[in-house]
Chain A
């Protein structure tokens, strides 16, 4: 069978296609069809010839097979130093073979590639930091994911995710109406406690354009309210866009480059329309990477910069604390031992290692670093889309052991994780390994300890 009904080389561009995929519980039919999916070797080879340039070609060619990347990989250590988990081996036996065979590979090979790309690599790019030649296997696996996607070999959830982006311009089925309703509802709900609280929509020339992860309106809208409260208390002139509010890109995890472009251009259009001074993205690592770091390239911006200067939430928090826009009540600082999870996507991919340390210095009395940390941190195990894929759940759970041990070694009882995927992975880790820890985004912690200026306090009745 060349192409299945659900598993095929077509893009999910209609609601009917998306609903059909969603109706397939756990992707049972999808994966059954995948076993029959033909590989278009010619198309694959054409794509490789066009897109495999200096960098990847040289990386594949000059890898000295020295094995220095082995220990850099959390999957390698979490799996008892299984040699099949050595990053170089993983990429050479998949992408390397694919190139060597000039795309003439079969269905089984493509499935092995998919399994490797999504259950043995979170694209955390740590190996690149440890390779003498600077060979970044995370980047190469991202490329391989793109090749696999073009041939229909992508996990069921990834196909759904890219479909969501293509249809809703968001990773979940949140419509413009849903989004605006949520903003309105949250402002009303929290206004009693914070008089004058607003979530301004589509305000032009604001100082800050705030954008989010679609999971927030969908599953934890209080996150939006908390952001609104903190902006309100800090006296920021801010707004959210009615369109182009979603920062994430499951399409980036899947390697659906066309959808990546569509998604990010939607956000950039909001910037062009509303002309904010700067953009601040919520506490999410991959969203920041997709829109701020990689996005400009998908959108064809030669500067490599988004149209408006863009910041991660931690950068805004650090600035607000540094300049006194937000003041911490010293008696409410975190007393218990607390540690911080460096998200690969804004540490190794954006250089924001110092910022969180600055924040911790304002809010925590007993801050404990994990080892290693900053640029050398380990992935939580949930990056690269790994949290969301049922087929590889077990492999991900094993991978999380490295972060579990790092956290336990600090003795901290609380982990601050300003990244959705890290937050999720740590939650799952607690569920599976019962470590006795709590985990949190920054916003709820800040709300508990920030001083409310006199004029913004609710007036006593009577």
Chain B
């Protein structure tokens, strides 16, 4: 079992994840239509790119936009959640040891205590994100089972990983579960809302281009996100 989930299944899920993301990016760009979207993408490409970069950067900056500043609590949850989600798996010592053993390279690593802290913070943030969904009427009305499923898919690898590392009586079982959850997440990314992993940049960039080209970008300063 361990051989299988860390062998063929791992390869398969990475392949689906990477190819899937690339396909989604290509399909997004190909599906843009200057006349239907009413944005002269190619005619004013440099203005468009300027707008796109501006838009992406401001929205990636913590509290970089008015919208982030207006919702400090959610912004903090969002930041913690996504930081944990991206930083922990890539820079975790254990993952990098495996990388080094198998493929001969590794990234920088973060101390184990930092990884633990990020994981716990991420899990706590996700609990608050779920509670927020239930508690606030304006979010509750939008929420479906799918939204909870997506959060669970994203958090499961962290919960199982944490248990395997710290609490498990049956280390092997939890490790396998952890790997399977991770693989489910990778496979789910191109096919679910988790596709925002790449489509955020596409959609954000597109609206940035819209503002950069058509909605005043060519008249002066960039848009005040």
Interface residues of A (CB under 8 A from B): 51, 53-55, 57-59, 61-68, 70-72, 76, 81, 83-84, 86, 88-89, 92, 128-136, 293-294, 296-297, 300, 302-305, 348-354, 372, 374-376
List 13 contacting pairs A-B, 8 Å CB cutoff, sorted by A: A65-B142, A81-B138, A129-B223, A131-B67, A132-B200, A302-B43, A304-B39, A304-B213, A304-B214, A351-B216, A351-B217, A351-B219, A354-B220
Q: Does B102 contact A (CB under 8 A)?
A: no
B27 to A54, Cβ gap below 8 A? yes
| Chain A residue contacts of B199, Cβ below 8 A | 58, 61-62, 133
A51 to B36, Cβ gap below 8 A? yes
Q: In the assembled complex, how far is the CB of residue B17 from the closest CB belonging to chain A, in whole angstroms?
A: 17
Q: In the assembled complex, how far is the CB of residue B136 from the closest CB belonging to chain A, in whole angstroms?
A: 6
| Chain B residue contacts of A303, Cβ below 8 A | 40, 43-44
A67 to B203, Cβ gap below 8 A? no
| Chain B residue contacts of A88, Cβ below 8 A | 142
A84 to B141, Cβ gap below 8 A? yes
Q: Does B137 contact A (CB under 8 A)?
A: yes
Q: How many residues of B contact A (CB 8 A)?
A: 59
B207 to A348, Cβ gap below 8 A? no
Q: Does B196 contact A (CB under 8 A)?
A: yes
Interface residues of B (CB under 8 A from A): 27-40, 43-44, 55, 59, 66-67, 70-71, 74, 78, 133, 136-144, 147, 193, 195-196, 199-200, 202-204, 206-208, 210-211, 213-217, 219-221, 223-225
Closest residue on chain B to residue A81 by CB atoms: B138
A54 to B32, Cβ gap below 8 A? yes
| Chain B residue contacts of A58, Cβ below 8 A | 28, 199, 202-203
| Chain A residue contacts of B70, Cβ below 8 A | 71, 130
| Chain B residue contacts of A349, Cβ below 8 A | 214-216
B208 to A134, Cβ gap below 8 A? yes
Q: Given A62, A294, A376, which contacts B196 in the complex, CB threshold below 8 Å? A: A62
B143 to A65, Cβ gap below 8 A? yes
A53 to B40, Cβ gap below 8 A? no
- Knowing A62-B193, A130-B66 touch, does A351 contact B38 (C-beta < 8 A)? no
Q: In the assembled complex, how far is the CB of residue B156 from the closest CB belonging to chain A, in whole angstroms?
A: 18
Which of B32, B138, B193, B206 is most buried by chain A, counting CB atoms within 10 A of its CB?
Answer: B138
Which of B28, B32, B136, B142 is most buried by chain A, counting CB atoms within 10 A of its CB?
Answer: B142
| Chain B residue contacts of A70, Cβ below 8 A | 138-139
| Chain A residue contacts of B27, Cβ below 8 A | 54
CA separation between A61 and B32, bound complex, in Å?
Answer: 16
B203 to A83, Cβ gap below 8 A? no
| Chain B residue contacts of A300, Cβ below 8 A | 35
B141 to A86, Cβ gap below 8 A? yes
B204 to A134, Cβ gap below 8 A? yes
B139 to A136, Cβ gap below 8 A? no
B219 to A352, Cβ gap below 8 A? yes
- Knowing A55-B203, A61-B193, A352-B219 touch, does A66 contact B44 (C-beta < 8 A)? no
Closest residue on chain A to residue B215 by CB atoms: A349
Q: In the assembled complex, how far is the CB of residue A373 from the closest CB belonging to chain B, in whole angstroms?
A: 11
| Chain B residue contacts of A61, Cβ below 8 A | 193, 195, 199
- Knowing A53-B36, A89-B141, A92-B142 touch, does A134 contact B55 (C-beta < 8 A)? yes
B136 to A67, Cβ gap below 8 A? yes
- Knowing A62-B199, A76-B138, A302-B34 touch, does A129 contact B216 (C-beta < 8 A)? no
| Chain A residue contacts of B193, Cβ below 8 A | 61-62, 64
Q: In the assembled complex, how far is the CB of residue B205 from the closest CB belonging to chain A, in whole angstroms?
A: 8
B40 to A132, Cβ gap below 8 A? no
| Chain B residue contacts of A92, Cβ below 8 A | 142
Q: Given A57, A67, A134, A374, which contacts B207 in the complex, CB threshold below 8 Å? A: A134
CA separation between A445 and B109, bound complex, in Å?
Answer: 67
Q: List 8 A-B pairs, minimum CB-CB distance, nearest first.
A: A351-B216, A304-B40, A54-B31, A134-B207, A65-B142, A67-B139, A83-B141, A70-B138
Q: In the assembled complex, how far is the CB of residue B2 from the closest CB belonging to chain A, in whole angstroms?
A: 35
With A64-B147, A86-B142, A134-B59 already in contact, 12 other A-B pairs whose C-beta atoms are closer than 8 Å = A53-B36, A54-B31, A55-B32, A61-B199, A64-B196, A66-B139, A68-B74, A129-B225, A134-B207, A303-B40, A349-B215, A351-B220
